[in-house]
């Protein structure tokens, strides 16, 4: 039977630490501020933005929401980003993705000041992560690592397999495992022998976006299984990329969905915003 790693508990701890540090900053007259831009009325994006605002309030940050209509032009959006780049009370800027089709996501990400880029999507921050000299880590992979650390799981020398190669999850996830001296394999939609490769994993990260994709026969006895997926199963119930029922008896550690990696993402966003406020105010 696997030990279940509770993202609920670990994320609450991270948020409590951020709150304490935020109080210390407030004593120095500094209140961290996060600006969240949302364009259009995608219901999932609305939920994410509301959760981020709620988390800000809980840890004591100021949050500003910029809800723009779906027909906002590229120029208008870039002008807002520029305004926020120059606003001293705002330490972190995030633009909720996906954007409506007519807007250029890449250009918007590139326009955010790297020092305020708390999602760590800006090419300059991505490059810094590659060379291991960074201020911010992308929130979801950083959250996965926080879960790994919370259990004292050793990565060094382990076979780590990441399924998924997206810029937001798979690629940076692989890089963070590599930084901790894991031997990392990235699998994707064109990978041959996926099952055999996964069977070699001491640490298996699933970031595929397919419900219950990872089955028991893909998992080595005693593997650490970290499930990034957020999907709906055939009954509309929330589930991960891992078939939890099947895999849990084989794993040594496993993250559930919901309550695993999910809550970590926002907690790490709070951590990044705190760090941005400290850097911008010259606080060590
Ligand atoms: P994505 O669609 O950008 O990437 C999916 C990856 O899976 C691709 O790289 C693709 O090559 C790979 N893939 C697809 N089919 C495959 C197959 N048959 N075999 C092997 N690889 C295959 O998705 P993403 O943005 O990386 O997100 C992945 C999952 O994580 C989604 O379920 C998403 O909802 C979830 N997610 C969760 C959080 C969180 O906060 N917990 C954050 C971001 C994404």
How far is residue 127's CA from residue 122's CA, in Å, rounded to a whole number?
Answer: 9
How far is residue 266's CA from residue 54's CA, in Å, rounded to a whole number?
Answer: 10
Rounded-to-10 torsion of CA 267, 237, 204, 228: -30
Show the ligand 1 pocket: residues with CB < 6 angstroms.
Answer: 140, 163-166, 168-170, 187-189, 191, 194, 207-209, 228-231, 261-262, 265
What global pTM score does this model have? 0.97
For ligand 1, atom 2, name the residue with the nearest CA: 209
Which residues lie below 8 Å from residue 159, measured CB to CB, with a gap of 6+?
182, 183, 185, 200, 201, 202, 203
How far is residue 252's CA from residue 248's CA, in Å, rounded to a whole number?
Answer: 8
Residues known to be catalytic: 52, 96, 119
Per-residue pLDDT of the chain (284 residues; tens, 9 = 90+): 899 999 999 999 999 999 999 999 999 999 999 999 999 999 999 999 999 999 999 999 999 999 999 999 999 999 999 999 999 999 999 999 999 999 999 999 999 999 999 999 999 999 999 999 999 999 999 999 999 999 999 999 999 999 999 999 999 999 999 999 999 999 999 999 999 999 999 999 999 999 999 999 999 999 999 999 999 999 999 999 999 999 999 999 999 999 999 999 999 999 999 999 999 999 98
Dihedral pair phi/psi, residue 166, rounded to 5°: -70, 160
């Amino acid at each position: 039977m696997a030990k279940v790693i509770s993202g609920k508990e670990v994320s609450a701890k991270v948020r409590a630490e951020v709150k304490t540090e935020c109080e210390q900053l407030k004593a120095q007259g500094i209140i961290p501020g996060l600006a969240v831009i949302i364009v259009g009325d995608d219901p999932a994006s609305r939920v994410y933005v509301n959760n981020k605002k709620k988390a800000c309030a809980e840890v004591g940050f100021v949050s500003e929401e910029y809800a723009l209509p779906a027909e906002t032009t590229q120029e208008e959006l870039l002008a807002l980003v520029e305004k926020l780049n120059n606003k001293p009370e705002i330490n972190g800027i995030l633009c909720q993705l996906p954007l409506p089709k007519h807007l250029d996501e890449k250009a918007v990400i590139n326009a955010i000041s790297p020092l305020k880029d708390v999602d760590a999507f800006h090419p300059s921050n991505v490059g810094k992560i590659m060379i291991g000299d960074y201020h911010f880590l992308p929130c979801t992979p950083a959250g996965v690592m926080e879960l790994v650390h919370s259990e004292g799981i050793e990565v060094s020398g382990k076979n780590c397999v990441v399924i998924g190669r997206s810029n937001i999850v798979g690629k940076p996830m692989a890089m963070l495992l590599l930084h901790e001296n894991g031997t990392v394999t990235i699998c994707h939609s064109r990978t041959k022998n996926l099952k055999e490769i996964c069977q070699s994993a001491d640490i298996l990260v699933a970031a595929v976006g397919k419900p219950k994709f990872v089955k028991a026969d893909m998992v080595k006895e005693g593997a650490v299984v970290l499930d990034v997926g957020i999907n709906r199963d055939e009954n509309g119930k929330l589930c991960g990329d891992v078939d939890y029922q099947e895999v849990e008896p084989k794993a040594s550690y496993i993250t559930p969905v919901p309550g695993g990696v999910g809550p970590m993402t926002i907690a790490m966003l709070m951590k990044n915003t705190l760090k941005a406020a400290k850097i911008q105010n010259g606080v060590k």
